[in-house]
Every structure is written in structure tokens, then in C-alpha cells.
Chain A
Amino acid sequence: MTEHSEVMHQGESHGGAHVHRDDEGSKMAMWLFLFTELLLFGGLFLLYGAYRFEYADGFKVAAADMNSFIGAVNTIILLTSSLSVALSIAAMQRSQKKLALGMLWFTILCGIAFLINKYFEWSHEIHNGIYPGGPALENMSNGEVLYFGLYYVMTGLHGLHVIIGLIFISVIMVFISRDKITSTNFQKLENAGLYWHLVDVIWIFLFPLFYLLH
């Protein structure tokens, strides 16, 4: 009976030629999923907003420690990777398979570069004793402690999403190279793109909130 339902189901099927897909439904599901992601981060943004409101000074002091250069570089990296994903979809639509794959490779490189930057940033902070329960926090005001708590949680969760996005894109690349994704059947690629853009959008907010406001 499993085989049956596989034949039946559009959104989930392997995309054999005779099987009808419901691209629109699949896209809708992706968007709904993005909403849940948005609200997951939304809870954290709300916390950030509330604590920033309660401890405006502590937050400013803490944000001054951040290296806004690395933040800005990472922002550009993510924006560029968003561009390359969008280009890859456009290329796929034009049946330019090579270009599409190339663009995705570029996206993955950007993602990795982003993570490497994050790694150095985190290790720098941890080296300075700034981490939950770390020695540097002892001498800080409540606002600063909360700032760094949220900093780790939010950028950490975002980093996790970058990693998931990278895996998602890699899988899509396998599909493309096996011609499971074509110029008429690229909803999966589009969905991966949507996910990646969401990761980008979240960073668009994280960047000013953590790096710029001093």
C-alpha cells in the first residue's frame, strides 16, 4: 500500500513524468513552514525587544564590544548567497543546468564562509570569558548578561539554520545533477531557495540588533 500512496501524492512523489505534482501546494507548505520558523525566532526577537527596553544601557554597553566589521561582512556574504540562490532558480528555468549548479556551489561556499566567520567570532568571545556562566559575565550588569545570553541563543539558532539550509541545498544539488529537477519541475529548488532567503532575512535583523546599536 505504500507504493500506492507514493503514486498518488503529488507534493511528495518522486516526480516521475506521468505523476501529477502539486507545485502550488508544495510551495504553500513551504511558506507555512517558514511562518513557524519566523515565529520561532519571533519569540526570541520579542525577548530581545523586551530586555532591550528594560535594560537599554546594559545592552548598549554590551553591543559596543561586538565587532561590527565581521557582522557587516557576514551580512554581505549572506546577501550575496541569497542572490546566487535566486540566480540559480532563474538559470534552472532557462534549462542552464551547469549555471544553476554553479550558483548553488557558490551559495554553499558563502554559507561556509559565514559559519567560519561566526566560529572565529564566538571563539574570540569565549576566549574573553564571555559565555554563559563564564568569568567575564560575573562583573557585568544584568543587561549585559542578558544581552550575551540572547546573543548566543539567537546567533546559535541562526547558525543552526544556516547548517540546515546548507544540507537542504546539497540535497537539491544531487537532485539537479540527476535531472530530478528540471526547467519545468523545480519546485524543490524553489523551496530550498525560500528557506535560504528566510535565513538571510533573519540575519538582516540580527545584524543591526546585535552589532550596530551602541
Chain B
Amino acid sequence: MSEQTQTGELAAQAHAAHGDEHAQGHGHNVSYGTYFLVWLGLVALTAVTVTIAGIHLGSLTLITAMLIAAVKTTLVGYHFMHLKYDNVIIKVFVLVCLVIFLTFWILTFSDLSFR
């Protein structure tokens, strides 16, 4: 059996696993403009956080800052990291990871905040 056929089989094997994603998977040609827009949004949000931190909002400062950071993260993840175009499975992975991380927080704070 030649090397060629061997590899051919592997191709078959892997193909079987992910069909024709090849074409769609990398098909997203996002325009440069979109990226610039996202970047502008991110910079604007940074400016907003800095200004808000300047005004004294008390306990709201923390919450707004974290909310804005979360929005920024979503922007980066969705556009720059191409989550928007990714397979469902990767989106599910990200969700699972975040949920588990969140439970670490909730359960740890079930201790701290009731001590």
C-alpha cells in the first residue's frame, strides 16, 4: 500500500468526521471595515469606562465597569475571535466554560458573603 493511499484513507476518515465544513468554515471574508467598526466600538467603550470611573457612582462603579468589560469581551470574542462564524460546538464549549466559571464564583461567595 502506498503512502498516497494511506493518507487518502485518513482524509476519508477525517472527512467523515467533518464533512465539507472546509468550504464554509473559512468562507467568511469579513470586510476590513467591519473590523474597524468593532475597534471603534471598543475604544469608545474604553472611553466610557474611564469617564464613568471619574464620576463617583458608589457601588454602581464596579457593576458598570464589569458590564462594559463584558460587552467588550463579547465584541472581541464574537468578531475578532470569529465566534460568530464558528461551529455550534465551539459556542457550546465557550458557554460551558463560562457557566462553570460562574458557579465557582457563586459557590465561593456563598461562603464569603454569609460569614
* A residues apposed to B, CB below 8 Å: 7-8, 10, 18-20, 22-25, 27-28, 31-32, 35, 38-39, 42, 46, 49-50, 53-54, 68, 72, 75-76, 79-80, 82-83, 85-87, 90, 93-94, 184, 186, 190, 193-194, 197, 200-201, 204-205, 207-209, 212-214
Q: Is the CB of B69 within 8 A of A205?
A: yes
A17 to B112, CA, bound (A): 57
Q: Within 8 Å CB of A90, what residues of B?
A: 29-32, 35
Q: Is the CB of B53 within 8 A of A212?
A: yes
Q: Is the CB of B26 within 8 A of A72?
A: no
Q: Within 8 Å CB of A204, what residues of B?
A: 69, 72-73, 76
Q: Is the CB of A54 within 8 A of B112?
A: yes
Q: Within 8 Å CB of A75, what residues of B?
A: 46
A-B contact count (CB 8 A): 135
Which of B3, B65, B93 is A212 in contact with, Cβ under 8 Å?
Answer: B65
What distance in Å separates the Cβ of A107 from its nearest Cβ neighbour in chain B?
A: 12
A82 to B93, CA, bound (A): 22
Q: Is the CB of B80 within 8 A of A85?
A: yes
Q: Within 8 Å CB of A205, what residues of B?
A: 66, 69, 73
18 interchain pairs, CB-CB under 8 A? A18-B7, A25-B14, A28-B93, A38-B101, A39-B101, A42-B104, A50-B112, A53-B109, A68-B50, A80-B39, A83-B39, A85-B80, A90-B30, A197-B77, A197-B80, A200-B76, A205-B69, A207-B49
Q: Is the CB of A83 within 8 A of B26?
A: no
Q: Within 8 Å CB of A208, what residues of B?
A: 49, 53, 65-66, 68-69
Most buried by B among A76, A79, A193, A201: A79
What distance in Å separates the Cβ of A192 from its nearest Cβ neighbour in chain B?
A: 12
Contacts A49-B105, A82-B80, A87-B32; A22 near B46 (Cβ below 8 A):
no
What distance in Å separates the Cβ of A10 from its nearest Cβ neighbour in chain B?
A: 6
Q: Is the CB of A212 within 8 A of B80?
A: no
> Whose C-beta in chain A lies nearest to the C-beta of B39?
A83
B interface secondary structure, majority? helix
Q: Within 8 Å CB of A214, what residues of B?
A: 53
Which of B39, B53, B77, B101 is A68 in contact with, Cβ under 8 Å?
Answer: B53
Given A31-B90, A184-B26; 12 other pairs, CB 8 A cutoff: A18-B7, A23-B25, A25-B18, A42-B104, A46-B108, A79-B42, A80-B39, A83-B38, A87-B32, A186-B26, A204-B72, A204-B73
Q: Within 8 Å CB of B29, what residues of A?
A: 90, 93-94
A27 to B89, CA, bound (A): 11
Which of A53, A184, A213 is B61 in contact with, Cβ under 8 Å?
Answer: A213
Q: Within 8 Å CB of B38, what residues of A?
A: 83
Contact with A along B58-102 (1 / 0, CB 8 A): 000110011011001100110111100011011001100100010
